[in-house]
Amino acid sequence: MEQKDKQTAEKFTVRTDLAIEAREIAREGREEAGEPDGVQVETSHTKDYELTRVHILTEQGSQTMGKPMGSYITLEAQKLKENDPESHSSIVAVLSKELQHLAKLKKQGTALVVGLGNWNITPDALGPKVVSRILVTRHLRDTLPEEMAQTVRPVAAVSPGVMGITGIETGEIVKGIVEKMHPDLVIAIDALAARKTSRINAAIQLSDTGLAPGAGVGNKRKMLSEETLGVPVIAIGVPTVVDAATLVNDTMDRMLTEMRSQTEEHSPFYQMLMDMESEDKYGLITELLTPAAENMFVTPKEVDAVVDRLADIIAKAVNMAMQPGLTEEDWSLFG
């Protein structure tokens, strides 16, 4: 069992960056009800969103889930995809509160916000778009009135690009900057990959574990974490794409379920599909995708507008969490 869990873990890291999906997969393979050992889950919801807190508490939980130990907070809301200012306000408020709680920054602690991803590829541009909306204050300390300077937390923000653009491992660039400016916290923002089409642009995950490698559209290999950077790292991510194989897989699963009632359950073909491990089926689909489709991703038509709005929501939540002493009106002084 453990053996099997481990194998699964190795495989599905290529498919989901979301702890809530890792949990779904872990539960699929189990007979008992309840959470995997070493994993604790809390959920809550309002009319605007669902919130799931997944805490991976032990090494065994980490192996089962294929994710480092720590807390993963996921906010899900189909309205994230729509232009709905009212629900977005309430989402900003809760994200800001959760972020502040994860961050545990002391009053004048310095934060560095890092926008990962490739600004030339719309669904991968989330991180850079958030960074362009961050209240950058670190360089203003000396020019602010004394009273204001006491209130404003020093925040810096960079978008280091991806290796295909710079020729340098993104982790190296971030580490180089961290070693110069010595922030007390890094907040890393990135586009993620999801396993379900329905979660595209409809979930935001915060975690205190850093960012896992291989995620999203672009190519970002080095882990950004307290271990590699020497300071705590909070990751904020949104699944903005699924790969083509995931889409096909999702649809085929629905097709099989649909057909179950229309065909003899025991026909060998049907049985064969049903018997396949989901990993194997996914692998088969990947093989069968035309070479043309291999590099394809699936994205909503209005992806530019949606990613802009998501960047807005996340940037506001970060600004609010980092600058509790400022009102939203004050922000304009720094922009």
Instruction: Write the CB contacts of 251 (distance below 8 Å, at least 6 apart in sequence).
Output: none
Q: How far is the CB of 245 from its own copies (least distance, A)?
A: 8
Dihedral (Cα; 90, 316, 232, 17), 10-degree rounding: 70
In this structure, are residues 157 and 315 in contact, taking their beta carbons and an 8 Å threshold?
no
Binders of its own copies among 242-261, rule CB under 8 A? 244, 247-248, 250-252, 254-255, 258-259
Q: How far is the CB of 198 from its own copies (least distance, A)?
A: 4
In this structure, are residues 196 and 295 in contact, taking their beta carbons and an 8 Å threshold?
no
How far is residue 54's CA from residue 26's CA, in Å, rounded to a whole number? 13
Tokens of 178: 């961290």
Stretch that binds its own copies, among 36-44, 64-72, 78-86, 207-215 (CB under 8 A): 78-86
Is 318 in a helix, a strand, or coil? helix
Distances in whole angstroms, Cα of residue 100 to Cα of each of 206, 231, 271: 11, 16, 50
Q: How far is the CB of 290 from its own copies (least distance, A)?
A: 5
Stretch that binds its own copies, among 13-21, 51-59, 162-170, 312-320 (CB under 8 A): 162-170
Contact pattern for its own copies over residues 106 through 125, marking x by CB under 8 A? --------------xxx---
Binders of its own copies among 18-77, rule CB under 8 A? none
Binders of its own copies among 310-329, rule CB under 8 A? 329
In this structure, are residues 243 and 298 in contact, taking their beta carbons and an 8 Å threshold?
yes
The footprint of its own copies on this chain (CB under 8 A) covers a number of residues equal to: 82
User: Which candidate, 246, 273, 210, 208, places its Cα nearest to that of 73?
Assistant: 208
Q: How far is the CB of 267 from its own copies (least distance, A)?
A: 4
67 or 196, CB closer to its own copies?
Answer: 196
Binders of its own copies among 172-191, rule CB under 8 A? 172-173, 175-181
23 or 88, CB closer to its own copies?
Answer: 88
Stretch that binds its own copies, among 59-67, 101-109, 206-214, 269-277 (CB under 8 A): 269-277
8 or 299, CB closer to its own copies?
Answer: 299
Q: How far is the CB of 243 from its own copies (least distance, A)?
A: 10
How far is residue 83's CA from residue 117's CA, in Å, rounded to a whole number? 24
Binders of its own copies among 188-217, rule CB under 8 A? 197-198, 200, 202, 217
Strands 185-193 and 233-243: parallel
**Residues in the chain, overall count:** 335
Is 145 in a helix, a strand, or coil? coil
Tokens of 26: 């872990």
- Rg of the chain (C-alpha set): 21
Q: How far is the CB of 308 from its own copies (least distance, A)?
A: 10
Q: Cα–chain-centroid distance for residue 107? A: 27
Q: How far is the CB of 216 from its own copies (least distance, A)?
A: 11
Q: How far is the CB of 61 from its own copies (least distance, A)?
A: 30
Stretch that binds its own copies, among 39-47, 64-72, 100-108, 131-139 (CB under 8 A): 131-139
